[in-house]
A = this chain, B = another copy of it.
C-alpha cells in the first residue's frame, strides 16, 4: 500500500509552512508541492526594499530554496509546475510542467490550496503597455529593479496609496526618480482614518513625492508598445514607468472552478482548522478567508504574518495534530523614510458600516521622555465603543520607535480590554524608551474620558 499523500498547491509562506509542519509531525507522509514560479518561500514584503536598494542582493529575499526543502525536509517541491484543475471526486489535480509543456494527473489524499493572491490590474485602455508593473511575485520585483538598472527611467507614477504603493513610491525616490502617486481616496493609506492618513500624505510630500489625491486612473498612454503616460479624470501625467499598487484579490479561480465554497471577497471559506468543508481539502494564506476578532465577522486579509500562521495551523492539523487559527485584529505597519505608520482593529468607516458607535481620541506625545535627546513626535488615535469602552482600534503615525507600539493595542484587542483597563497596563518605562505614560496609554486615557 502506498504512503498517504499531501499535495500542496503554492510554495510560498502558507504552503511551505504547512508542508514543513506536516512533515515534521508525520515523517511518513508523502508531500508534493506544486509551484508555478521558479521560487519557494520568498519575502514579498521585502520587494520594495530590494527595489529601493536597501537590500542589495535578490538572494536575501529567498527564505528557503526548493532544493533546501527537498534536502532538509524531504518535501518534493516542483517549481515551474502549475495546477490547471482540481478533480474533487477523483481526488487528483491536473499539473502542467511549464518547462516541457507536458501535463499529468497527480492523485492526493489531502489537498492544501495555498494559491495566494494576485494584484488588481485595471482593465483600462493601454494596460498592456511595456513598463507597467504589478508587485506580487519575486519575479515582478526583480523585473522592476532590472528595468531601473537598464536606465532611461526618470519619471515614475505609482497608482494606489496603500502599503505597496507607498513603499514602492519611497523605493523609487531612493532610485533618484521624480515620483507621482495617484490615489482615489482623500488621503493615502485608506486603512487609516483621514485625519491620520493626512499625516502620512504629508510625510510622502516631504520626501518629494507629488500626490494626486481623489483622482481616478482612466487610461494609459503608450508609444510603440511602451507606456509614456497615464490619464486620470483630472489630468495627464507623462511617465517612464508605472507601478500598480491597487491591492490584491485572492487567487481562487481554480478553487471556484472545482466548486469549493468561497467567502469574503472571493477568498476560500475555511473553518478555524483551515478546512474548506470539502473532505480532504484545506486552504491557507492569501487565498483563504480569515475572521476579524473585533467585528466578529469573516474578513479577507493578504499579509505574510497571517499566511504563516494559517499555514502553520493547517500543517499541524494535516500532520495529525490539533490547532486552530482564531482570526486577526487587522494589524499592519509600514514606514515612509523616517515616518512610521501602524494600525490595528477597526477604523471609522468600518465602524460606521457595522453600526457600531464609538468615541475617539487623538493625542500627540513623544517616543522617549521629553527631555531625552531625539525624542520624536508620535501621534496616536484610539477608538473605543461608546458606553462599554471596549477598545475597537488604534492608529499610530510617528518617528522611530512609534510603529511597534501598535502591538500593545493589538494584544489589548485580542484580550477584549476596555480603554479604562488599558490605563493601568504595566508597560515598560525608562527615559530612552518612553514618557512615563506610554503614548498608547495616554490615547486610551483620553478616549476613556469621552465615554
Contact = CB atoms under 8 A, between A and B. Distances in A.
A432 B335 contact: yes
Contacts of A428: 331-333, 342, 344, 403-404, 406-407, 410
A369 interface: yes
A298 to B, nearest CB: 15
Question: Of residues A305, A411, A415, which shows the largest number of chain B Cβ atoms within 10 Å of its Cβ?
Answer: A411
Interface stretch (A42-50, A215-223, A260-268): A42-50
Given A407-B438, A433-B335, A426 B43 contact: no
Contacts of A429: 45, 303-305, 333
Contact of A55 (B49, B344, B373): B373
Given A308-B436, A325-B424, A43 B369 contact: yes
Nearest to A409: B411
A22 to B, nearest CB: 16
A309 B20 CA distance: 47
A55 B404 contact: no
A427 B415 contact: no
B426 A410 contact: yes
Given A304-B436, A371-B46, A427-B305, A411 B415 contact: yes
A410 B405 CA distance: 13
A401 to B, nearest CB: 7
11 contacts: A45-B430, A49-B431, A60-B371, A305-B426, A329-B426, A331-B426, A331-B428, A335-B432, A405-B407, A407-B438, A408-B411
B410 A427 contact: yes
A419 interface: no
Contacts of A427: 305, 331, 406-407, 410-411
A424 B328 CA distance: 8
Contacts of A433: 333, 335, 340, 403-404
A326 B423 CA distance: 11
Nearest to A427: B407
A334 interface: yes
A183 to B, nearest CB: 20
A120 interface: no
Interface of A: 13, 43, 45-46, 49, 54-55, 60-61, 163, 293, 303-306, 308-309, 312, 325-326, 328-335, 340, 342, 344, 369-373, 401, 403-408, 410-415, 417, 421, 423-434, 436-438
A341 to B, nearest CB: 9
A436 B412 CA distance: 20
Contacts of A54: 372-373
Ordered nearest first, which 8 A-B pairs have the shortest CB separation? A415-B415, A333-B428, A60-B371, A411-B411, A305-B429, A328-B426, A331-B426, A329-B426
A320 B436 CA distance: 25
A257 to B, nearest CB: 31
A45 to B, nearest CB: 6
Contacts of A405: 404, 407
A326 B418 CA distance: 14
A284 to B, nearest CB: 13
Contacts of A430: 45, 163, 332-335, 403
A410 B441 CA distance: 13
Nearest to A401: B404
Contacts of A434: 404
A437 B308 contact: yes
Contact of A305 (B334, B371, B414, B436): B436
A203 to B, nearest CB: 14
Contacts of A61: 371
B425 A411 contact: yes
Contacts of A45: 369, 429-431, 436
A414 B414 contact: no
Given A55-B372, A340-B433, A404-B434, 13 more contacts: A43-B436, A45-B436, A46-B369, A49-B431, A55-B373, A308-B437, A333-B429, A403-B433, A404-B405, A404-B428, A410-B427, A411-B411, A414-B415
